């Protein structure tokens, strides 16, 4: 094994998608990564170890008690050598075993012994995947910091159509690369507050006003910061997203709630990135009972909500304060005004009317303006890539304020 290269331990478990792991091995090898395959007993019913041995140029580990081909690969040293563990496909069984601390074969024992990031790429029948026990096990593992690459929807080998298909090999390789490359831990020891999503302001017990924010940008920033070693408090309005593993998640509904939570954590944080879209206004009064439909026009009086960024701008001492400006016109002008008025260190400006930009998209395109006047237009990219770029710029701000 070449020790200067990164090492991925690929755990293959017993599902139909095991054959797709052959492609994963060859793609990783082409990227100059050492791959050591560990197969469960069931996995060997689907693909012969010889296939993986030939693709990885390494003996495949199949049994904890067989005489190892070299003492170099017994389970503890294997666990220590790993830069990353990838379990693909991951059966309901291996997820359940790891979530419950069971280590009864080579793969589960090695996972238990490793300090490297462990990434599960589940693949199974839809009903199995949605089973409450499986979902609970996934939640448990996520909370403990294990990574998951969600399965996709489509026609499954069993004939069902639904969620449960192993994620695309491209997606798996990208995620593996991202985790391997972002392990420089340049945010270790830094405390971040990231806000995300919309807020909701009730009109009556049934209705509310809100906006089109989905939280994707803020969640991407939280995820990227965690992977770089930060302690992240994610203060989020209502979204359908799953928070990244191992962050302190605080759910809020209204702008006032978000305001109080951000202030509560502000003193002990180093960096605030405000990617949320809190509602600027709320109805003056919330009707206690449902407003009944009538033929008459209706007027609702709104009052201003607290301005979270402005308040932080006034209070900040050592903290770096980063805001977002989602504009539909004159974005640079409005963005620069916001940077100045709210005493920010940096603002990320986007025009939400551009294609593939802003609310709900997986991609975004921003222009960064710093308080020094430095300006940088970034190209369209995925929100997770953009999150890393924003974090790079924030580190730069800390080094050269
Ligand atoms: C034909 C066949 C296909 C299977 N496909 C899957 C699958 O896609 N996902 C899964 O979680 N289990 C699947 N199973 C069940 C697992 O093989 C079984 O739970 C086994 O105990 C998993 O062991 P392992 O996790 O140690 O590999 C399948 C079983 C058979 C017979």
pLDDT value at residue 184:
67
Residue recorded with tokens 């793969």? 107
How big is the chain by its Cα radius of gyration, in Å? 24
The residue-averaged pLDDT of 320-342 equals 91
Ligand 1 — pocket residues by CB below 6 A? 13-17, 40, 42-43, 91-94, 123-124, 128
Element containing residue 92 per DSSP (H, E): helix 92-99
| Whether pLDDT at 72 is above 80 | no
Q: Is 266 annotated as a binding residue?
A: no
- Report phi then psi at 312, rounded to 5: -65, -40
pLDDT value at residue 311:
96
Separation CA 239–CA 97 (nearest Å): 30
Q: How large is the greatest C-alpha to C-alpha distance in the chain, in angstroms?
A: 84
Q: Are 94 and 106 in contact (CB under 8 A)?
A: no
Axis-axis angle for helices 49-56, 20-30 (nearest 10): 10
Report which protein residue has its CA nearest ligand 1's atom 19: 93
| Whether pLDDT at 277 is above 80 | yes
Separation CA 16–CA 339 (nearest Å): 53
CA of 111 to the centre of ligand 1 (A): 19
Atom of ligand 1 nearest to the CA of 94: 25
CA of 248 to the centre of ligand 1 (A): 34
The residue-averaged pLDDT of 201-219 equals 95
- Report phi then psi at 377, rounded to 5: -90, 125
What are the strands, taking DSSP E only, across 156-230?
161-165, 191-196, 201-202, 208-209
Separation CA 325–CA 275 (nearest Å): 9
Give which of 122, 63, 116 is closest to 95, Cα–Cα. Answer: 122
CA of 16 to the centre of ligand 1 (A): 7
Superfamily designation of domain 191-399: CoaB-like (3.40.50.10300)
- Report phi then psi at 248, rounded to 5: -85, 105
pLDDT value at residue 228:
86
Report which protein residue has its CA nearest ligand 1's atom 1: 16
| Whether pLDDT at 69 is above 80 | no
| Whether pLDDT at 263 is above 50 | yes
pLDDT value at residue 64:
66
Give which of 83, 18, 13 is closest to 51, Cα–Cα. Answer: 18
The residue-averaged pLDDT of 163-188 equals 86
Provide DSSP, 314-341. HH-SS-EEEEEEEESSSHHHHHHHHHHH
| Whether pLDDT at 354 is above 60 | yes
Report which protein residue has its CA nearest ligand 1's atom 14: 15
| Whether pLDDT at 240 is above 70 | yes
Mutate to test the pocket of ligand 1, among 11, 14, 111 (most ligand atoms within 8 A of CB): 14
**Would you kindly state where each structural domain of the chain is located, as residue ranges?**
7-181, 191-399
Mutate to test the pocket of ligand 1, among 63, 89, 91 (most ligand atoms within 8 A of CB): 91
Hey, how many other C-beta atoms are within 10 angstroms of the C-beta on 279?
22
Residue recorded with tokens 């593996």? 176
| Whether pLDDT at 2 is above 50 | no
pLDDT band, very low/low/confident/very high, at 182 (cuts 50, 70, 90): low
Mutate to test the pocket of ligand 1, among 13, 21, 42 (most ligand atoms within 8 A of CB): 42
CA of 51 to the centre of ligand 1 (A): 19
Helix (H, G, I), strand (E, B) or coil at 15: coil
Atom of ligand 1 nearest to the CA of 157: 8
Give which of 180, 177, 151, 178 is closest to 165, Cα–Cα. Answer: 151
Best-predicted range by mean pLDDT among 28-32, 64-68, 73-77?
28-32
Q: Which pLDDT tens digit goes with each residue over 285-312?
A: 999 999 999 999 999 999 999 999 999 9
Catalytic pick among 158, 247, 269, 348: 158
Axis-axis angle for helices 92-99, 106-113 (nearest 10): 40
Q: Is 166 annotated as a binding residue?
A: no
| Whether pLDDT at 252 is above 70 | yes
Report which protein residue has its CA nearest ligand 1's atom 5: 15
Q: Is 158 a catalytic residue?
A: yes
- Alpha-helical segments (H) within 236-382: 255-266, 308-315, 331-341
Among 165-169, 353-357, 373-377, 384-388, the least confident range: 353-357
Q: Is 309 annotated as a binding residue?
A: yes
CA of 77 to the centre of ligand 1 (A): 28
- Report phi then psi at 12, rounded to 5: -110, 125
Separation CA 151–CA 141 (nearest Å): 16
Cβ burial of 106 (10 Å; 0-12, 13-18, 19+) is buried
Cβ burial of 195 (10 Å; 0-12, 13-18, 19+) is buried
The share of the chain scoring above pLDDT 90, in percent, equals 66
Report which protein residue has its CA nearest ligand 1's atom 4: 15
The residue-averaged pLDDT of 344-362 equals 82
CATH number for the region 7-181 comes to: 3.40.50.1950
Structure tokens at 262: 């951000």
Q: Is 290 annotated as a binding residue?
A: yes
């Amino acid at each position: 094994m070449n020790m200067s290269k990164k090492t991925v331990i690929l755990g293959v478990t017993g599902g139909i998608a095991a054959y797709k792991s052959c492609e994963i091995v060859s793609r990783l090898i082409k990227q100059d990564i050492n791959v050591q395959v560990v197969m469960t007993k069931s996995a060997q019913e689907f693909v012969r170890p010889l296939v993986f041995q030939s693709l990885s140029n390494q003996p495949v580990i199949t049994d904890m008690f067989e005489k190892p081909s070299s003492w170099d690969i017994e389970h503890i040293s294997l666990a220590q050598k790993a830069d990353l563990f990838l379990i693909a496909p991951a059966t309901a069984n291996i997820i359940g075993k790891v979530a419950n601390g069971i280590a009864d074969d080579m793969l589960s024992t090695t996972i238990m012994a490793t300090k490297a990031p462990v990434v599960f790429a589940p693949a199974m029948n839809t009903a199995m995947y949605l089973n409450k026990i499986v979902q609970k096990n996934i939640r448990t593992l996520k909370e403990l910091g294990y990574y998951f690459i969600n399965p996709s929807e489509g026609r499954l080998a069993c004939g069902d159509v639904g969620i449960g298909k192993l994620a695309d090999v491209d997606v798996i390789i990208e995620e593996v690369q991202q985790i391997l490359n972002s392990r420089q831990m340049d945010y270790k020891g830094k405390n971040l507050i990231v806000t995300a999503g919309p807020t909701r302001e009730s009109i009556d017990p049934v209705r509310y006003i809100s906006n089109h924010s989905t939280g994707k940008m803020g969640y991407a920033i939280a995820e990227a910061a965690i992977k770089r070693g930060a302690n992240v408090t994610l203060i989020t309005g209502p979204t359908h997203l799953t928070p990244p593993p191992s962050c302190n998640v605080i759910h809020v509904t209204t702008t006032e709630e978000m305001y109080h939570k951000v202030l509560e954590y502000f003193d002990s944080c180093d960096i605030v990135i405000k990617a949320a879209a809190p509602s600027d206004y709320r109805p003056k009064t919330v009707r206690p009972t449902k407003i009944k439909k009538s033929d008459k026009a209706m007027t609702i009086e709104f009052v201003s909500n607290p301005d979270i960024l402005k308040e932080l701008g006034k209070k900040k001492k050592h903290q770096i304060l980063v805001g977002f400006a989602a504009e539909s016109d004159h974005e640079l002008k409005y963005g620069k005004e916001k940077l100045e008025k709210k005493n920010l260190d940096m603002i990320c400006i986007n025009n939400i009317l551009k294609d593939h930009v802003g609310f709900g998209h997986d991609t975004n395109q921003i222009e960064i303006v710093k308080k020094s006047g430095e300006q940088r237009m970034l190209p369209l990219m995925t929100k997770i890539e953009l999150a890393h770029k924003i974090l790079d710029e924030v580190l730069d701000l800390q080094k050269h304020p």
